[in-house]
Amino acid sequence: MARGRPGLTGALVTAAVPLGFLAVFFVWPVLAIIRLGGGGGVAAVLSSSDTWRVVEFTVGQAAAATAVAVLTGLPVAFLLARTALRGHTLVRAVVMVPFVLPTVVVGLAFRSLLGGGALPIILANAFFNVAVVARTVAALWSHVDRRAEDAARSLGAGRARTFFSVTFPALRPAVFSSAAVVFLFCATSFGVVLLLGGGEYSTLETEIYLRTVQLFDLPGAAALSLLQVTSVIAVLVIGAVLRRRSTTLNLRVDTARRPRGGEWFVVAAAYAVVIALLVPIISLVAKSSFNGFKALAGTGFRGSLQITGWDAALNSVKAATYATLLALALGVVACVALVTLSRTRARPSLVESIDTALMLPLGVSAVTVGFGYLITLDKLPGDLRTSPMLVPLAQALVVTPLVIRTLLPVLRSIDSRLRQAAATLGASPWRVWREVDIPLASRSFIAATAFAYAVALGEFGATSFLARPDSATLPVVIGRLVSRPGELNNQMAYAACALLMLVTTAIVIAVDRLGTVGEF
């Protein structure tokens, strides 16, 4: 008989890849920058009431934005997963577009629509993240057996009761998974808080930036970073506890049908959300003009760009493709390791710790990580600090947790007996992955790919940090144009936004098509 733990060693070796990556490109830089600041600032920062006000606002606005994103994302998830209606691809694209838009233009759009203040900050943060909830939950929802709901309904449960007693528990892992991701994104949002807060509101992220860059108060920044890391870990642990008890689902493939009766209300709510998402998007497109597009075809107003807008679009697609492939590879390896570990009856706490560790980069200041790179990565061969490879590497850090959160709920919910059935039919462990897990998770994989692309396409920080003038991407170009005076520059900026939306939509549609041709 097989003794020991088959697969455990292999899983640990596999897990070493993403963990090693995390150690080199996250833990090391962050620890280095915190150490550089020294421990001196901790006491002063922690005892200041300002600090706690900042923490309160950071957590408060992120929690509120997460709640809004979940409440608006769920009807859209229902629409995508459960209804057979036309136009799903377009809906998927529309919810994804906000994800790639540069914060500065979204901030400006919300400012002109809603003015400044806490509520616009919350709404803008939710706006960016509806896609995370909608697509992660939809990926799982499309696999949940509808018969359990029908059974509950036949037992006399009302729609709401059915949802809360049958449907929601099944969706729980995906809902809490995506909520954790959204929370972290919102907690570290930077541009939106500055722009819409008008200096009245600050978050840990903006404070860390100000202390590091403007005041060069490294001890203070280090103390705040430490606080941020600690609170992120706390949030992640809570999230992990909430999404524990992932249920085994009776995985089905085709549960979409025409909505009936009261389902039309949910569908209407979903379309209302889509329309609400379209408002800022359309207001942005409206600001572009024919002149803007014409100028974008050249190198801009008085050569303010060094490349044409179309070149920038091409650069965006190219860079995003590399980053996506790298991030997907890493994310999938991480998922395989986590799933294999939990299947080998490794201690659940071990699996959860690895999972939580891989989520950390989402919640820690890009400033901390970025400056951490500067003082660590020169010690690696090839001095990665100024390499163009650092951009996809840094993005992979953010995309990997997204891939994990999208894929893992579905992979975990695959009945182990289905895999065992394949094994008894002669499928080796690798074949089982190929024949069972991968095809069943393919919808989630497509969602993960779309996210990875969106993150890479919309990425501004690391790209503007490292992009050469001739390899500028669309967000970089937009950032440049919007920070210059002149009507034409403005129109060009919005034309570039429209172009970015177009590229995103095209890629989301292409990824969708690719997936539907593949396995189903």
Partner 1 sequence: MRRLGPLLVVTALVAGCSSTPTNSHTVVLVTHDSFSVDQGVLDAFKADTGITIDVRKTGDAGALTTQLVLTKAAPIGDAAFGVDNTFASRALQEGVFAEYQAKDSDKGPQNYAIDKRLTAVDVGDVCVNATQDVDAKTFEDLADPRFKDQLVVEDPSTSSPGLAFLLATIAHYGNQGWVNYWQRLKANGVKVDSGWEEAYSQDFAGSSGKGPRKLVVSYASSPSAEIGDDGKARTKALLDTCFRQVEYAGVLNGAKNPDDARKVVDFLISEKFQKLVPDAMYVYPTRDGVALPEQWQQAAPKPESPATVPADQIQGNRDRWIEQWRAAVRG
Partner 2 sequence: MLRIEGLTVRYGRTTAVREVDLEIADGEVLALLGPSGCGKSTLLRGIAGLEQADGVVAWDGTDLAGTPVHRRGFGLVFQDGQLFPHRDVAGNVAFGLKMAGLPKEPRVGELLDLVGLNDYGKRKVTELSGGEQQRVALARALAPNPRLLLLDEPLSALDRSLREQLAVDLSRLLRAGNSTALVVTHDHDEAFTLADRVAIMRQGEIVQSGSPEEVWRYPVDEDTARFLGCSTFIDGEVSGNAVTTEFGEVELSAEDGPVRLGLRPAALKTGGEHPGIVTAAVHRRDHVRITVKSATREVEATAPIGVQPGAVVGLRLDPDGMAVVGQRRRPR
Interface residues with partner 1 (CB under 8 A) are 36, 104, 107-108, 111-112, 194-195, 197-200, 206, 210, 212-217, 301-304, 306, 321-322, 325-326, 328-329, 371, 374-375, 378, 382-383, 385-389, 392, 438, 464-470, 476, 479-480, 482-487, 489-491, 514, 518
* Contact residue for partner 2 among 216, 424, 468, 517 (CB under 8 A): 424
Sign of CA dihedral 305, 308, 310, 315: negative
Length of the chain: 520
CA distance 162 to 414: 23
Q: With CB cut-offs between 5 and 8 Å by kind, which of partner 2, partner 1, none does residue 2 bind?
A: partner 2
Using the rule CB under 8 A, which residue among 237, 268, 297, 425 binds partner 2? 425
State which of residues 269, 293, 439, 465 lies at the interface with partner 2 (CB under 8 A).
Answer: 439
350 touching partner 2, by CB under 8 A: no
Q: How many residues bind partner 2 (CB under 8 A)?
A: 31
What is the closest distance, in whole angstroms, from the C-beta atom of residue 417 to partner 2 in the complex? Answer: 5
Taking the CA atoms of 463, 464, 465 and 469 in sequence, report the sign of the dihedral they define: positive
Stretch that binds partner 2, among 21-29, 249-257, 268-276, 353-361 (CB under 8 A): 249-257
Question: Shortest distance, CB of residue 320 to partner 1, whole angstroms?
Answer: 11
DSSP state of 470: G
Interface with partner 2 (CB under 8 A), residue from 253, 268, 275, 279:
253
* Distances, alpha carbon 453 to alpha carbons 93, 97, 442, 444, 506, in Å: 12, 11, 16, 14, 11
Query: Which C-beta is closer to partner 1: that of 120 or that of 239?
Result: 120
520 binds partner 2 (CB under 8 A): yes
Please check whether residue 460 is in contact with residue 312, taking contact to mean a CB–CB distance below 8 angstroms. no
Q: Which residue blocks in 188-308 are alpha helix, DSSP H?
A: 191-197, 204-209, 218-243, 263-287, 290-297
**Does position 254 bind partner 2 by CB under 8 A?**
yes
d(C-alpha 31, C-alpha 115), whole Å: 39
Three-state DSSP class for residue 83: strand
Q: Is 258 left (phi over 0), alpha (psi -120 to 50) or beta?
A: beta
Q: Which does 237 bind (CB under 5 to 8 A by kind): partner 2, partner 1, none?
A: none
* Of the residues 156, 381, 426, 485, which one makes contact with partner 2 according to CB under 8 A: 426
Task: Look at residue 8 and give the partner it binds from partner 1, partner 2, none, a contact being a CB closer than 5 to 8 Å depending on partner kind.
Answer: none
Q: Using CA of residue 315, residue 374, residue 394, residue 340, what is the dihedral sign?
A: positive
Find tokens 């650092």 and name the residue: 390
Q: Facing residues of 229 across strands?
A: none
Q: 164 touches which of partner 1, partner 2, none (CB within 5 to 8 A by kind)? A: none
Q: How far is the CB of 441 from partner 2 (least distance, A)?
A: 10
Tell me how far, at minimum, the Cβ of 439 lies from partner 2, in Å: 5
- Shortest spacing between CB 75 and partner 2, in angstroms: 25
Q: What is the largest distance, in Å, between two alpha-carbon atoms of the chain?
A: 77
Site for partner 2 in 383-422 (CB under 8 A): 415, 417-418, 420-422
* Binding partner at 469 among partner 1, partner 2, none, C-beta below 5 to 8 Å by kind: partner 1
* Residue 257 binds partner 2, judged by CB under 8 A: no
Residue 257 φ then ψ, to 5° = -150, 175
Could you tell which of partner 2, partner 1, none binds residue 421, using a CB distance below 5 to 8 A set by kind? partner 2
Closest listed residue to residue 361, CA positions, set 14, 16, 19:
19
Pick the binder of partner 2 from 353, 428, 483, 516 (CB under 8 A).
Answer: 428
Give the whole-angstrom CA distance, residue 32 versus residue 235.
23
Kindly tell me which of 329 and 418 has the beta carbon lying closer to partner 2.
418
Distances (CA, A) of 379 to 22, 213, 332, 384: 16, 23, 28, 9
* Residues engaged in binding partner 2 (CB under 8 A): 1-6, 251-254, 415, 417-418, 420-429, 431-432, 435-436, 439-440, 519-520
